[in-house]
Structure 1
Amino acid sequence: METTTVKLYSLNYKEAKTYMFALLFIAGNIALPQICHLVPGGGLTWLPIYFFTLIAAYKYGFRVGLLTAILSPLANNVLFGMPPVDVLPIILIKSSLLAAAAAYAAHRSDKVSLLAIVGAVLAYQVAGTFAEWAIVKDFFVAVQDFRIGIPGMLIQIFGGYAVLKAIAKL
């Protein structure tokens, strides 16, 4: 499997760059879901709210990823009513898990690695499924991303890999 050397960062909350990058990725996580929601069921299939969280956490570390993970769904909910309030806690949990998994995968691999990205996506999805199951008490609902969202997970993996390779030297 091909890997590319990447400049990875672990920005802290005292740096202005942390908030600048977070705002950039939050904007992406606001725009992409709006595009996907033009198609019926687009949000459930393409899982767009997670895409830029993956990029943010992998490239710029857990703090930028976590800001993106928390503020993106909240901003989308306030601006557009999506995700709906009743699923917002689950989206926030999954987004936060993704930020942690992607930052950890990047730290461990120290490269743009397809395998590391696959691991991050599977880790947040599996842990998120168990969290969702504990909250909604319905296994069928909890495995929804694995029933409907496989295309979105594939976009996260392969699209995320492509974007991270493209910005690897930045």
Structure 2
Amino acid sequence: METTTLKLYSLEYKEAKTYLMAALFMAGNIVFPQLCHTVNMGGPTWLPIYLFTLVGAYKYGWRVGLLTAVASPFINSAWFGMPVPASLPAILLKSILLAGIAGYTAHRFQKVSIVLMLAVVVGYQLTGTLGEWLLKGDFYLAVQDFRIGIPGMLLQIFGGYLLVKYLIRK
């Protein structure tokens, strides 16, 4: 597997760039889910609310990821009704885990690879599924991402890798 070393950042909350980058990734997390929701079961299949959280946290650090992870689901729910409010706790849990794991992985390894993206996605999904099971008390609902969302996880792994490696070169 090819590993690429690239410029990764760990922006601080006191930097204006943190909020600018978070706003850009939030926009991606608003537009992309709307596109996916035009297809039947597009949200549960493609898991679009997580892609730009992953990219933002990996490239610009956990703070950008956390801002994106928390704001995006609330904005989408308020503006478009998706995700439904009852789903917000589980989605927020997974989004926050994703931001933390992606930010940590990027900081720790200072490179991007398919294997690292796989570790991030599997890490937040497994941990988030356990948390969702505790929140909902229903194992079948908690494993929905593994039943329906494999295409979305693959998109996060390969799409996230490509976005971090090629499209965000600075």
Q: Common fold, TM-score beyond 0.5?
A: yes
> Which structure 2 residues correspond to residues 20-169 of structure 1 after superposition, within 5 A?
20-167=20-167, 169=169
Q: Displacement of 1:124 after TM fit?
A: 0.4
Residues 10, 107 of structure 2: 8 Å contact kept: no
Residues 6, 168 of structure 1: 8 Å contact kept: no
State how far apart, in whole Å, the 1-side matches of 2:125 and 2:153 are. Answer: 9
State how far apart, in whole Å, the 2-side matches of 1:47 and 1:61 are. Answer: 21
- Tell me the SS of whatever aligns to 2:83: coil
Q: Which residue of 2 aligns with 1:4?
A: 4
Unaligned runs of 5+ in 2: none
Structure 1 stretch 17-26 or stretch 159-168: which is displaced more? 159-168
- Percent identity reads 62
Post-superposition CA distance 1:1-55 (Å, at most 9, x none): 1011111111011000000000000000000000000001000000000000000
Unaligned runs of 5+ in 1: none
> RMSD across aligned C-alpha pairs, in angstroms?
0.8
State how far apart, in whole Å, the 1-side matches of 2:50 and 2:33 are. Answer: 9
Q: Which residue of 1 aligns with 2:19?
A: 19
Post-superposition CA distance 1:113-155 (Å, at most 9, x none): 1111110000100000000000111101100000000000000
Q: Displacement of 1:167 after TM fit?
A: 3.6
TM normalised by structure 1 equals 0.98
Q: Displacement of 1:108 after TM fit?
A: 1.8
Post-superposition CA distance 1:49-87 (Å, at most 9, x none): 000000000000000000000000011011101100000
Say how many residue pairs are matched: 170
- Tell me the SS of whatever aligns to 2:115: helix
After TM superposition, which residue ranges in structure 1, 4 or more long, deviate above 4 angstroms?
Answer: none
TM normalised by structure 2 equals 0.98
Structure 1 stretch 160-169 or stretch 73-82: which is displaced more? 160-169
Residues 7, 168 of structure 1: 8 Å contact kept: no
State how far apart, in whole Å, the 1-side matches of 2:89 and 2:152 are. Answer: 20
Structure 1 stretch 106-115 or stretch 71-80: which is displaced more? 106-115
Residues 11, 63 of structure 1: 8 Å contact kept: yes
